[in-house]
Structure 1
Amino acid sequence: MAQTPQSLKEEQRRSANYHPTIWDPSAIKSFSTPYTYELYGTQLEDWKQKARKLLASTKGTVATLKLIDSLKRLGVAYHFQDQIQQALDQLNVVSDDLSTVALHFRLLRDNCYPVTADVFEKFKGGDGKFMDSISGNVEELLSLYEASFMAIPGELILEEVKGFCNQSLKILLGKMDQVERSLEVPLYWRMERIEARNFIDSYAVDDSKSSVLLDLAKLNYNLIQSAYQKELKELAEWWRELNFKEKLSFSRDRLMEIYFWATGLSFEPQYAKSRICSTKYACLATVVDDIYGSLDELESFTKAVTGWDMKAVEELPGYMRAMFSAMSDFTNELAQQTMAWTFCPTSKNSGLYYAEHI
């Protein structure tokens, strides 16, 4: 059967030779886990209740600060936001211990309290520089270094802190495993799910650990993973149905990478719809970025997209029509979901679906 000039033109379009994805839909569909909110939701609630009692019964400034820090790094702090805020409201830290002051400062800044960096001035010597005794204390340096990343523009003292700690910690490399990790990626820059997974292992061998928090963190992590698997399977089916592998073979398939990015934006299970919509949007935007064509084709594509001009769509080559159709379907889907959420915010079609299970 003779090919038309248009079909030959589409076949001859260049490719950037992007590497193919290793995450095909069948691999994603094979994911499985024994953990579900239906089976383990009650047990999760039991551990959360025990953790609330632990937080309420903890006495002492240092113990309370360390407990709050552990809750956050274990990835379960979102269950106890009100209690954590109440505990931070009641703390009045007056201490000469740099580790305590730095931890208190970091937690307050992380929870949006208007705390000033002047609390670190008292740890300077008469020459205006940080005391030499600090430079040999790994725990104090780490705590101060992590706090320095909570700086806001114009806080020169925290920039000074960061430089001082960075130089001092490099000398102490090998003293603690955490030193190398913090120098590479400080706490404030880490993805919360990755930090939770890594910290669960570290916390498990800590002599001062709480078995309640450890059990809660493990179960909570596995349950959130089960939610992610469910969302990924939905996304993989959506991507398979678009059939871009055939219709736009030159484009990138980065579904898994983009979903991973979306979990970094909002990891909590109740934000399922946010992750799904963000992933779909970024996947489509990536494909649009890969589109090429003649100036006339690109102008027609731009006109079609910016004005939803169906006449302009008819003038597009087949792969551009497929792209426009996918964008149009996603936009309509998003509009319908927004309307459903507006009028029925507790619907299972809303972004609050998983809130019923946590």
Structure 2
Amino acid sequence: MEKLLAASPCTFSSAVVSNCSTNLFSPWRRLGPARVVPRVTIVSKLSSSLQPTQRRSANYHPSVWEPALIESFTTPFSYEVHGARLEHLKNQARNLLEHVQDPCSTLKLIDSLQRLGVSYHFGKEIDEALDKVISSRTVVDDLYTTSLMFRILREHGYPISTDVFDKFKGGDSKFMESLGSDAAGILSLYEASHLGMQGEDVMEEAKEFSAKHLKASLGKLDCDLAMQVQQSLQVPLRWRMPRTEAMNYIHAYQKHETSHSALIELAKLDYNLVQAVYQQELRELARWWGELGFKEKMSFSRDRLMENFIWSMGIVFEPQLSKCRTNLTKFVCILTAIGDMYDVYGTLPELELFTQAVNQWDITAMKDIPEFMGACYLALLDFVNNLELEMLKDNGSNTTYYIKDEASSGKILKQFRNNMLK
């Protein structure tokens, strides 16, 4: 066990994330508007004559994530085996939160917990710690801590005014140029600027000011800080996916002089345990996707199960929200196929029939739509019905009416249709 936890983060059991870094992002970049190529000739079921129907193709590349590859994802980590150690490490982290004294140290510890990907274990404790920071009314004078406090409090929904940055402005109401020598403070200000709200011009000024100084300082900083600056300029903290940030930050946190060994071990163990949950979800989703048969029945559409799962994981990463993550993935996969059908492949008469079938919301409507649309229509009905059963079982309530009402209103489908007519 000690050997597993002492390993470098580079050697984590990270099949999903490591594969994403090498294989995923190239195909993912093509998830934008379809690249339509010259028309191909396919006979339409709806054709009233023997004349072939002209159809378009977006020439989508096949998925690099074969079912066999997804099934091969394995890890030695499980909550059954490592759960006790996880709880022990969580208690040590709670103890750190309870005994930290000054506001600056509290904010730094909370920031570390968030970036290490383990803060979801300590929601109540973090709220209590932030309440103490606010009630202490401690005056913070340095740019780094002020910016960190602003960002952390905004992230957790606490009200904090942009007036806290007034002390860093000169007589011209602009940020003082002398702040540019404080690289850590400027970086903290840059990250905080992305928590500004509409109408807060000072945060836009802070963003421009800090970005200018960070770019100018890149060649003068030590290697670790320069890497952090470069990464933030490319993708600010506010825009990063929690799980990938956790993997990256573990590397950086280990080098901090003030790092806690218990937090490093907790972050590594939690990362691997959560990844085991993702791998199980992916295996189940791959089987579901294969059973739908879209690859054979709707070969014109995108096969992007993994990319859709990563997207869902970026929205809800917590392991206890597995059902939300998998259902969101399923919905986006079906919606992607519908989008390709409307944007690229279907003819206007066919799409009118499909829209009518969705408005009817009954399996008997399948007899009125083309065969290639049947798989998609059936998958949509099946998904909503299964979701309805899950909600009745878990919550005793049924809100699926609103999903059906939204689909039956045809808002999304009408938008696709209008795009075709342009």
Q: TM-score, normalised by structure 1?
A: 0.91
Q: Call closer, same or farther: CA 1:5–1:14 in 2, change over 3 Å.
A: closer
Q: Call closer, same or farther: CA 1:310–1:80 in 2, change over 3 Å.
A: closer
Distance of 1:5 and 1:294 partners within structure 2:
9
Is contact 1:300-1:312 (8 Å) kept? no
**Residue 158 in structure 1 maps to residue 203 in structure 2:** yes
Distance of 2:261 and 2:363 partners within structure 1:
61
Is contact 2:65-2:306 (8 Å) kept? yes
One-letter amino acid matched to 2:274: I
Q: Deviations over 1:208-238 (max 9, x none)?
A: 1100100000000000000000100110000
Residue of 82, 86, 105 corresponding to 2:124: 82
Residue 251 of structure 1 and its aligned partner are, at CA, apart by 1.1
One-letter amino acid matched to 1:46: H
**Residue 191 in structure 1 maps to residue 222 in structure 2:** no
Is contact 2:363-2:378 (8 Å) kept? no
Is contact 1:33-1:226 (8 Å) kept? yes
One-letter amino acid matched to 1:134: L
Aligned partner of 2:250 in structure 1 is: 200
Percent of residue pairs identical: 50
Is contact 1:35-1:226 (8 Å) kept? yes
Residue of 268, 272, 278 corresponding to 2:322: 272
Is contact 1:303-1:309 (8 Å) kept? no
Secondary structure class of the residue paired with 2:94: helix
Distance of 2:188 and 2:247 partners within structure 1:
21
Residue 308 of structure 1 and its aligned partner are, at CA, apart by 1.5
Aligned partner of 1:298 in structure 2 is: 351
Correspondence list, 1:98-113, <5 A: 98-113=143-158
Aligned partner of 1:130 in structure 2 is: 175
Secondary structure class of the residue paired with 1:172: helix
**Residue 140 in structure 1 maps to residue 190 in structure 2:** no
Residue of 59, 67, 78 corresponding to 1:17: 59
**Residue 37 in structure 1 maps to residue 86 in structure 2:** no
Residue of 158, 161, 182 corresponding to 1:116: 161
Q: Call closer, same or farther: CA 1:325–1:10 in 2, change over 3 Å.
A: farther
Distance of 2:290 and 2:204 partners within structure 1:
48
Q: TM-score, normalised by structure 2?
A: 0.78
Secondary structure class of the residue paired with 2:296: helix
Aligned partner of 1:54 in structure 2 is: 96
Secondary structure class of the residue paired with 1:34: coil
**Residue 331 in structure 1 maps to residue 376 in structure 2:** no
Secondary structure class of the residue paired with 2:369: coil
| Higher mean displacement: 307-316 or 171-180 | 307-316
Q: Call closer, same or farther: CA 1:285–1:40 in 2, change over 3 Å.
A: same
**Residue 210 in structure 1 maps to residue 252 in structure 2:** no
Residue 293 of structure 1 and its aligned partner are, at CA, apart by 2.6
Q: Deviations over 1:16-67 (max 9, x none)?
A: 2101001011110111000111111111111001110111111222211111
One-letter amino acid matched to 1:31: F
Q: Which runs of 5+ in 1 are unaligned?
A: 345-358
One-letter amino acid matched to 2:162: A
One-letter amino acid matched to 1:194: T
Distance of 1:44 and 1:11 partners within structure 2:
60
Is contact 1:297-1:316 (8 Å) kept? yes
Distance of 1:209 and 1:9 partners within structure 2:
72
**Residue 93 in structure 1 maps to residue 138 in structure 2:** yes
